[in-house]
A and B are shown apart, each in its own frame.
Chain A
Amino acid sequence: MEELGLLMQGFGVVLEPQNLLLMLVGIALGVLIGVLPGLGGANGIAILLPLTFAMPPVSAIIMLSCIYWGALFGGAITSILFNIPGEPWSVATTFDGYPMAQQGKAAEALTAAFTSSFVGAFVAIVMITFIAPVIAGFALRFGPPEFFAVMFLSFASFIGMSKGPALKTVCAMMLGFLLAAVGMDTVTGQLRMTFGSTEMIRGFDFLVAVIGLFGISEILCSIEDGLRFKGERAKIDAKVVLKVWVSLPKHWWLALRSSFIGCWMGITPAGATPASFMSYGVARRMAKDGASFGKGRIEGVIAPETAAHAAGTSALLPMLTLGVPGSPTAAVLLGGLIMWGLQPGPMLFVEQKDFVWGLIASMYLGNVVGLIVVLVAVPWFAAILRVPFSIIAAIILVVCAIGAFTVSNAEFDITLMLLFGVIGYVLKKLDYPLAPLVLALVLGDRTEEAFRQSLLISQGSLGVFFSNWLVSSIMAMGFALLLWPVVSWVLERISAHRSRTGAVVPREA
């Protein structure tokens, strides 16, 4: 096997003491970046990029990609502990992770999150190692119609998610689309709904909205509940890691499916955020008792985390083989490659073998090291919940404000964050689900763009969404998922009707 030989060579490069040290530094920085909401992997790497110019390219990319792994791990921490997603792809982790923390199971949730992140990444790396060229070719099939179909599938797999009344779900989702439409419209090059305001030109950044909707509104709710964390009784025990590990293997099918969703979304390249939402939606749909999701199910942590990490890892593949970044962070890394005199694209695997295999080897090692670092720290992270609320709430507020500011260095965003906090609080009180709003806000833009690009290409014909086997089958899957609740409702009715006419089982209310 040629790949294995090359990979071993790669390990040789990575295991040099200097590179190992950079790896540890990278992971630690990455976790820190992931914990701070808003700073984000892309910003973090952009800030640190100039520091790496003096290093050889392999060392530089090892450190930067380890920051990336660290950020992927770190994003889960604040989602679970405080309901504040540190990164866009950990929003879905809050749905079940935070309820778990409230029930005193923060350590369990964190362990499950980190472990499934590792599993997702590992599957993706194995895939990159052995079938990179094949997969890269597949990504070329994705034009605007295929891209729209994938987005449609994300929405469809997620739409039955919320427990609230359907009309409220639709309202929340439409609000998300509306917010996503503000700012520059890339298809016509016109500004939309900015009302002449300079601050609105930027549009509503997803992270600013999410920090407010989840983080700030959560603090408001906690204040109302009497200034304390519900999770403070959490027993913290180093053995919890082992206990969770024992329980994990039974979720192997869930993990595998989520990894697959993640890899696929990373390559296409839709990225980690839709992957995590889609995986969560599918997990909920496939579970026998889907209704209990959102109340602290460990599966609700495993599914999005596995998918996000698998997508985050495989997003590097289109970057390396095609020069198209699968995520904003990958985009900055791409800029780095060019500065080190490497030309990303199909020739990289041919001309820069040392570099590519060094990077792939560092993915294996970086993830193992990352997992050990964060697992060792689990008890400490969970112990944060023991700090009195009156102290930690102030710190969270400051961190949130810094996070909102850093997204685009704008003070206005802090005001916006507070405003979203109030909106989030009101929506929660009125029992509107936040998840569809967030999903529409993060994917609305790209979805609309892909839809209109497709229509430009087809000159207005909707047939473009069924013009080849690939796009047709994705669309068909989307419709199937979308109509599933209706179909299952009808089936249920029929069987209920039968049992009633049989007069054997009384129907449950």
Chain B
Amino acid sequence: MPPAGCSRRSLLIGAGAAALASPALAQKGWEPTRPVQFIVPAGTGGGADQMARVIQGIVSKHKLMRQPMVVVNKAGGAGAEGFLEAKGARGNPHMIVITLSNLFTTPMATGVPFNWQDLTPVAMLALDEFVLWVNAESPWKTAAEFIEAAKRERLKLGGTGSKQEDQIIAVAIGKATGAQLTYVPYRGGGEVAVQLVGKHVDATVNNPIEAVTHWRSGALRPLCVFDSQRLSNTDKMTETMAWSDIPTAKEAGLDVEYLMLRGIFMPAGVQPAQLAYYEGLLERVRETPDWRELMQQGAFNTTGMTGDAFRAWLTKEEARHRTLMQEAGFLA
């Protein structure tokens, strides 16, 4: 809750501006007049939640917005709860949603009546990478060796959630190579990484930020990254390796590519000026050093998109997910 005085003042400013300015000008300078609800369709502590809270922190630390931003977790039904709430809030300019791949996978896997077109895409903030990890004490030094072993005997691959990104990758690896992988779903990425350190599973496809500390302590070994190009971060993370030293899946002879969207959406039916406001806000968030540090730490792919380019990307990704999910037999 904001202090009463603060919100009254900004309300007065808002009302004054609306009364004085010509309609065109008022539309250009739209600003939130109430606290902005920032919906996270995932639990506390996960990747999306962390990113939302970093954004919230940056916005308040650098005073990028006069109204406060309130992060609300709506994790029910693999995020369906959050998406349905945003779908129902048509025309509400005081709500934004952060998404992960469950934007596509949840409605496909569960049949919940929702599609990304029920929302207004605002901006792609970054793409999260996936890396194939094995225990450092395992005999597999390259992706090819791991795949060969998985062809001989069934191996266990741990991941976050069910019928979501991690399992999609697991199935795609199996399809592409004939490797036999049993997918074991866990609740969160951190838990998955520790299960690999404890050798309860044979491999994972953790995001960089989920596994980096175990890599640096020498417990895990990265085999390949599921991107078309290598990671850009060249700082040495261990004595011998940097993120950029991890080969791509293609270099390692594995034709699987997967990146996860970290993007921001608004409810449908908002005005262009309102959309423009959040585009501008996020642009400024991306320029702060705090944001860059997060990108660096998590070895994110920092591609950003807005407007039509973003829409086109979403359309393409949705189709791709439908194919992937169909091939895996995950469609509801």
Contacts and interface: CB of A to CB of B under 8 A. Distances in A.
Contacts of B187: 186, 449
Contact of A331 (B44, B197, B293): B44
A144 B76 contact: no
Interface in A172-200: 183-191, 194, 198
Interface stretch (A22-30, A102-110, A240-248, A318-326): A318-326
A453 B184 contact: yes
A186 B190 contact: no
Given A42-B44, A409-B72, A457 B194 contact: no
A323 B212 CA distance: 10
B77 A334 contact: no
Given A189-B163, A324-B191, A453-B184, A198 B50 contact: no
A53 B214 contact: no
A46 interface: yes
10 interchain residue pairs of minimum CB distance: A345-B213, A143-B200, A189-B162, A331-B45, A202-B76, A189-B163, A201-B77, A346-B217, A140-B198, A53-B57
22 contacts: A46-B44, A49-B53, A140-B198, A141-B198, A183-B76, A184-B110, A186-B185, A191-B112, A201-B84, A201-B112, A318-B194, A324-B190, A331-B188, A332-B45, A339-B53, A339-B54, A339-B294, A345-B213, A345-B217, A346-B214, A456-B156, A459-B182
Given A53-B61, A189-B109, A456 B212 contact: no
B190 A346 contact: no
A348 B212 CA distance: 12
Nearest to B87: A198
Contact of A324 (B43, B53, B194, B330): B194
Nearest to B106: A189
A472 interface: no
A449 B72 CA distance: 26
B7 interface: no
B77 A184 contact: yes
Interface in B278-328: 293-294, 297
A143 B198 contact: yes
Given A189-B110, A189-B330, 9 more contacts: A46-B73, A142-B198, A201-B77, A323-B193, A331-B44, A332-B44, A338-B50, A343-B213, A456-B184
A15 B107 CA distance: 52
A347 interface: yes
Given A189-B78, A324-B191, A335 B161 contact: no
B80 interface: yes
A346 B200 contact: no
B53 A343 contact: no
Given A201-B112, A324-B190, A347-B213, A334 B184 contact: no
Interface in B160-206: 161-164, 167, 182-188, 190-191, 193-195, 197-198, 200-201
B212 A343 contact: yes
Nearest to A445: B187
A334 B190 contact: yes
B297 A341 contact: yes
Interface of B: 43-45, 49-50, 53-54, 56-57, 60-61, 71-74, 76-78, 80-81, 84, 109-110, 112, 154, 156, 161-164, 167, 182-188, 190-191, 193-195, 197-198, 200-201, 209, 212-214, 216-217, 219, 293-294, 297, 330, 332
A346 B218 CA distance: 10
B223 to A, nearest CB: 20
Given A140-B198, A339-B53, A346-B213, A201 B80 contact: yes
A344 B45 CA distance: 12
A430 interface: no
B110 A190 contact: yes
A424 B135 CA distance: 49
Contacts of B212: 343, 345
Contacts of B110: 184, 189-191
A323 B190 contact: yes
B214 A345 contact: yes
Nearest to A325: B45
Contact of A201 (B81, B195, B209): B81
Contacts of B332: 190
Contact of A202 (B56, B81, B162, B163): B81
Given A189-B110, A335-B49, A339-B57, A144 B200 contact: yes
A408 interface: yes
Contacts of B56: 50
A389 B61 CA distance: 46
Interface in A331-382: 331-332, 334-335, 338-339, 341, 343-348
A339 B194 CA distance: 21
Given A325-B45, A328-B44, A346 B219 contact: yes
A54 interface: yes
A457 B199 CA distance: 12
Contacts of A142: 198
